[in-house]
Amino acid sequence: MSRELLVVTHPEATHVVDGLVGGWYDADLTPRGVEQAGRIASALAGSGVDAVVSSTLLRCRRTAEAVGAAVGVEPVLDPDLREQSYGVAEGHPPGTFPWNPPGAGDDPLRHHDGVEGSETRLEAATRVYAAVDRLFAAEHRTTVVVTHGGVATYVVAAFVGMPLGSVGAVSFALTPGSITRLVADAHPGQRRVASLGETGHLGR
């Protein structure tokens, strides 16, 4: 049986418009984001979706609820699909707390930015990889995964079998409200990226 993951990045959220650091900060969708969530839901209606799994954060939950209503499936929340944590900087303007980016020769996967309570990319990727493993164990045919633009890269990487240790410098440009289609073919057992970061359904 072929299986699909339809990876949705939440649409426009208040922290972006307000110029605040996101991460685990529980920002809501803007009115425009709510409209975009409706467009995402309409695009996925009739896609044979039999599971909707979402980050626990409000901006994703509201998106997942719109999708779930359109496809007749109750969303399941998974905290491992949350955005990378930026610790005490969350909910504040960038630059409020000192931030140390990785320097030449640093391992970007394991580098810590010096912000209290923040995650390394390795910590974030490890939990996202675990979430993707659980998605496959559930054996649904078509699963919508509602997550964040930052960690969506790890969802794609985990799906295609990219080793965890190699994702430190990897990033896919997945804009808010995008849909990425990942397909696991029963024969010949391949996992492929059928489409990446589609936004045509948003009408822009």
Over residues 105-150, the pLDDT tens digits come to: 899 999 999 999 999 999 999 999 999 999 989 989 999 999 999 9
Q: If phi over 0 gives left and psi between -120 and 50 gives alpha, with beta otherwise, what is residue 139?
A: left
The residues pairing with 143 across neighbouring beta strands, listed in sequence order, are 5, 51
pLDDT at res. 45: 96
Handedness of CA 123, 126, 132, 133 (dihedral sign): negative
Domains and CATH numbers, the chain: 3-202 (3.40.50.1240)
∠ CA 93-119-102 to the nearest 5 degrees? 80
3-state SS track over 80-112? HHCCCCEHHHCCCCCCCCCCCCCCCCCCCCCCC
Over residues 138-156, the pLDDT tens digits come to: 989 999 999 999 999 999 9
The percent of residues above 70 in pLDDT, for the chain, comes to 100
For the record, the structure tokens of 38 come out as 């409706």
Over residues 74-104, the pLDDT tens digits come to: 999 999 999 999 999 999 999 999 999 888 8
pLDDT at res. 133: 96
For residue 204, name the pLDDT band (cuts at 50, 70, 90): low
pLDDT at res. 105: 87
Checking if the pLDDT of 53 tops 90, the result is: yes
Checking if the pLDDT of 188 tops 90, the result is: no
Over residues 191-200, the pLDDT tens digits come to: 999 999 999 9
Residues near 103 by beta carbon (within 8 Å), at least 6 away in sequence: none
Over residues 62-80, the pLDDT tens digits come to: 999 999 999 999 999 999 9
